[in-house]
Amino acid sequence: MSDAALDFADSRRALLGFTGRLVGFTLLATLMFIWLGPVLLVVLTSVKSNNDFLAGPFALPTHLTFEPYLKVWFALGFGPLMANSFLYATAGSALAVILALVPAFTLSRLDVPGKKVIFGIILTGLMLPQQTVIIPLYDTLRSLNLLDTRLGLIVVHAAYGMPAQILILRGFMTTIPRDIEKAAYLEGASDLQVFWRVILPLSIPGILVGFTLNFIAIWKEFVFGLVLLNSEANFPVTVGMLKLNSDRYMSVFNLPAAGLVIAQIPIVILFILTYRRISEGNFAGATKG
């Protein structure tokens, strides 16, 4: 093959490679814009005056203002709402993890008759929409005098989140090498001691993953808080956001936007703080044994 033909082939490959990279970059940029566009629009709206927004909803702000944040936080009482959401998410996630630890250990490490059937029954909890259980939950909480209480909502979140925690923890515990627990049994350890001293410490990354995912799910939850709570003092931030959608604020756009931004800040902070540990936990759970 002549030098000219070789140069042409190299140029063709380089052109095809450049075209492929350009198409890939364009597609990636488009997807990022579709995903980030609404987020950026909400953030920009939250730092505009209402007149500035009405003059150009998609334009950059002529001047920044943080008055919507101050008004949402102080005048509309977002502080207690955030505190309630933090309580529900933290306590509900912790209780869900605690309740899931023993079942996950039993289903992953012990030879229990029919454990596959039991595990399948537990997983049906992941397939039930909230709307199908809200009436039984309402009647149960009312009979226990837990309706419109913080404790009642925490218990509901823990029970609803427990199947997902069992799924996560069982999958993680299954990957722990059995040689470790066999050595403990040879030393005379009981099942409880193996669970407490061997499996539980090694499952901390899995526990962190489960807790974080459940925390985010509870923080974003809306239906349970709306139906099972009546007192505004007990509302989570997702239900409290409804006050920003009342007729009083129909023509005000920066306040709901500021409320949305404030409500997402804890989730973003939690993700930043735990992302590395969660990634390490997922990797460890995928490679152990």
**Helices marked H in the chain — which ranges?**
3-46, 50-55, 67-70, 78-109, 115-123, 130-143, 150-174, 178-186, 191-194, 200-202, 204-220, 223-228, 237-240, 254-287
Burial state string for 34-48 with b = 16 or more CB within 10 A and e = fewer than 16? eeeeeeeebebbbbb
| C-alpha separations of 126 from 76, 166, 167 in Å | 35, 11, 10
Question: Is-contact 61 44, C-beta < 8 A?
Answer: yes
Distance between CA 159 and CA 163 in Å, rounded? 8
Burial of 65 (0-12, 13-18, 19+ CB in 10 A): middle
Selected residue with higher pLDDT from 117 and 23: 117
Query: 76-287 is classed in which CATH architecture?
Result: Orthogonal Bundle (1.10)
Residues shown for the chain = 289
- Tell me: the pLDDT tens digits for 157-175? 999 999 999 999 998 888 8
pTM over 0.95: no
- Tell me: the pLDDT tens digits for 49-77? 888 888 888 888 888 888 889 888 887 78
SS (H, E, C) 129-140: CHHHHHHHHHHH
Q: Mean pLDDT lowest for which of 46-50, 102-106, 276-280?
A: 276-280
On average, the pLDDT of the chain sits at: 84
Q: Mean pLDDT lowest for which of 44-53, 216-225, 269-278?
A: 269-278
User: What is the pLDDT at residue 130?
Assistant: 85
Cβ-Cβ contacts under 8 Å for 174 (sequence gap 6 or more)? 108
User: What is the pLDDT at residue 286?
Assistant: 40
Distance between CA 109 and CA 87 in Å, rounded? 33
- Is the pLDDT reported for residue 3 higher than 60? no
| Helix 150-174 with 204-220: angle, nearest 10 deg | 140
Distance between CA 88 and CA 152 in Å, rounded? 10
User: What is the pLDDT at residue 27?
Assistant: 87
Distance of alpha carbon 34 from the chain centroid? 21
Going by C-alpha positions, the residue among 170, 49, 183 that lies closest to residue 108 is 170
- Is the pLDDT reported for residue 280 higher than 80? no
